[in-house]
């Protein structure tokens, strides 16, 4: 029972803050926490956890109460490179970082 999200437009550092809190949690508790957490990363992780739970229910006929987050891995995705013009005809880089999320659920 897995869910993947790739090249999400948020830096891995910002996602890791929320991921550390829910890692190892029960799936129901994680969804409740993420629904009301005041972070942008919480909304993104909510969608991934929700998708994994529905995959478990639909594909494997699992009960939500028996599921917990076994592995939650946040990795670096591709980096969009943009440029900011500055004085004397030079440019400063702007790095727009992305994240990859891999989530696996297990049955208790």
Residue 108, pLDDT > 90, answer no
User: In the β-sheet with 91-107, what is the strand arrangement from edge to edge?
Assistant: 2-8, 91-107, 67-85
pLDDT tens digits, one per residue of 37-61: 999 999 999 999 999 999 999 999 9
Q: Which two tokens stand for residue 47?
A: 């969608």
pLDDT tens digits, one per residue of 5-24: 999 999 999 999 999 999 99
Q: What is the pTM of this model?
A: 0.90
Predicted confidence at residue 1, as pLDDT, reads 85
- Domain range 2-107, CATH class: alpha beta
């Amino acid at each position: 029972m897995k869910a993947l999200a790739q090249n999400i437009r948020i830096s891995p550092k910002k996602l890791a803050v929320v991921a550390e809190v829910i890692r190892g949690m029960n799936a129901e508790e994680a969804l409740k926490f993420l629904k009301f957490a005041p972070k942008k990363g919480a909304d993104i992780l909510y969608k991934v956890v929700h998708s994994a739970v529905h995959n478990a229910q639909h594909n494997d006929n699992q009960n939500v109460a028996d599921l917990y987050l076994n592995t939650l891995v946040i990795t670096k995705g591709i980096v969009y490179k943009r440029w900011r013009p500055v004085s004397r005809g030079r440019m400063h880089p702007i790095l727009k970082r992305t994240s990859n999320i891999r989530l696996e659920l297990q049955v208790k």
